[in-house]
């Protein structure tokens, strides 16, 4: 298995790793990403015309990872129509850093690309707050940045993030209460991943949301039967989805390698297929991309079947 080390959009995994380091716990972002379960499966949203190569949103995934690793923590959120709980956040920050998210990237004005990122979700570590600003480590490459509270409140409300569960959401004060063995951690993670597939299988079928293989084939239909991908879809694949999918799949392969070589081999194959899809979208070769995504759909179904048979 050929390892990969590099940057990428692992914002909640990187922020979770930073939060745990503040209490002396070193957990790699790769492990946190896998244990979140966010990269399991695929989901197509018909209204937004977008596919995500995962079925769990990070709002839940961070908590999944912390629980599997044996931590307890404080988690807070608020109603979008309510007042932002700035004083509560201030009190928590006086005790230690907090992991904030989802935040709407369009309001993160220290990012020079913020104007083009409205509605995209993001997760950061906050370490201080005064009357004018909040101070952050943003894992997208912006350490020790500040954000005016007026902008922060808009980002924290997350009103334009269509799949958010919460507004004004954050995690803080992690504390280790258990130390699962490698075997126990792997077994519990497998149960989480199986549960994610089982949950989507139990949902009432509807055309507005598709899961797994069918979600990926819906993109193939967009390419072959609906006049091709829109500029927004091309941007989503070119700058985000395929490269993230490849990295996630490789991290899953490493995680599975010791305890489930069959699953590891499928995930490694999937990682390579994601990389091939990325190359094709950048080359604007949609005809070959459709063929490659059919293969990707088959790999996704193979993984689901093998996982759920365990």
pLDDT per residue over 142-159, tens digit each?
Answer: 999 999 999 999 999 999
Taking the CB of residue 195, how many other CB atoms lie within 10 A of it?
15
Residue 108 pLDDT: 98
Residue 64 pLDDT: 98
Provide the sign of the torsion angle of the four alpha carbons 40, 41, 46, 51, taken in this order: positive
How do residues 235-261 score in pLDDT, each as one tens digit? 999 999 999 999 999 999 999 999 999
How do residues 196-234 score in pLDDT, each as one tens digit? 999 998 887 777 899 999 999 999 999 999 989 999 999
4: pLDDT confidence band, cut at 50, 70 and 90? confident
Residue 287 pLDDT: 95
Average pLDDT, the chain: 95
- The residue with greater pLDDT, 6 or 151, is 151
Q: How far apart are CA 283 and CA 164, in angstroms?
A: 33
Residue 99 pLDDT: 98
Taking the CB of residue 237, how many other CB atoms lie within 10 A of it?
23
| Burial class for 309, CB neighbours closer than 10 Å (0-12, 13-18, 19+) | exposed
Residue 196 pLDDT: 97
Domain boundaries in the chain? 8-36+71-176, 194-309
Kindly state the tokens that stand for 199: 């949950």
Instruction: Kindly tell me if the per-residue pLDDT of 192 is higher than 90.
Output: yes
Residue 202 pLDDT: 86
Mean pLDDT over 73-99 rounds to 95
State the CATH class of domain 8-36+71-176.
alpha beta
Residue 259 pLDDT: 93
Question: Is residue 303 within 8 Å of 270, Cβ to Cβ?
Answer: yes
Residue 2 pLDDT: 72
Strand 209-211 with 133-138, pairing: unpaired
- The residue with greater pLDDT, 3 or 158, is 158
Mean pLDDT over 283-308 rounds to 98
Residue 80 pLDDT: 84
Residue 1 pLDDT: 75
């Amino acid at each position: 298995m050929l390892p990969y080390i590099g940057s990428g959009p692992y914002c909640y995994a990187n922020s979770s790793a930073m939060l745990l380091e503040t209490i002396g716990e070193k957990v790699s972002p790769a492990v946190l990403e896998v244990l979140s379960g966010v990269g399991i499966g695929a989901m197509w949203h018909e209204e937004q015309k977008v596919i995500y190569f995962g079925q769990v949103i990070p709002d839940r995934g961070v908590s999944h990872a912390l629980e599997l690793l044996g931590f307890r923590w404080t988690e807070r959120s608020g109603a979008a129509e309510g007042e932002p709980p700035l004083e509560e956040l201030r009190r928590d920050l006086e005790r230690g850093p907090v992991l904030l998210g989802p935040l709407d990237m369009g309001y993160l004005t220290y990012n020079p690309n913020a104007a083009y990122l409205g509605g995209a979700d993001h997760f950061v570590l906050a370490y201080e707050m005064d009357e004018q600003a909040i101070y952050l480590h943003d894992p997208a490459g912006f350490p020790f940045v500040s954000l005016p509270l007026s902008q922060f409140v808009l980002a924290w409300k997350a009103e334009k993030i269509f799949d958010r569960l919460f507004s004004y959401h954050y995690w803080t004060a992690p504390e280790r209460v258990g130390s699962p063995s490698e075997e126990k951690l792997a077994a519990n993670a497998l149960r989480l991943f199986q549960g994610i597939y089982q949950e989507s299988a139990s949902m009432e079928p509807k055309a507005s949301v598709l899961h797994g293989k069918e979600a990926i084939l819906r993109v193939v239909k967009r390419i072959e039967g609906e006049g091709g991908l829109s500029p927004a879809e091309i941007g989503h694949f070119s700058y985000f989805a395929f490269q993230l999918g490849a990295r996630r799949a490789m991290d899953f392969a490493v995680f599975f390698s010791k305890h489930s070589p069959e699953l590891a081999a499928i995930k490694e194959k999937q990682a390579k297929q994601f990389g091939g899809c990325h190359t094709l979208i950048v080359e604007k070769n949609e005809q070959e991309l459709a063929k490659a995504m059919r293969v990707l759909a088959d790999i996704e179904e193979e993984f689901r079947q093998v996982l759920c048979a365990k």
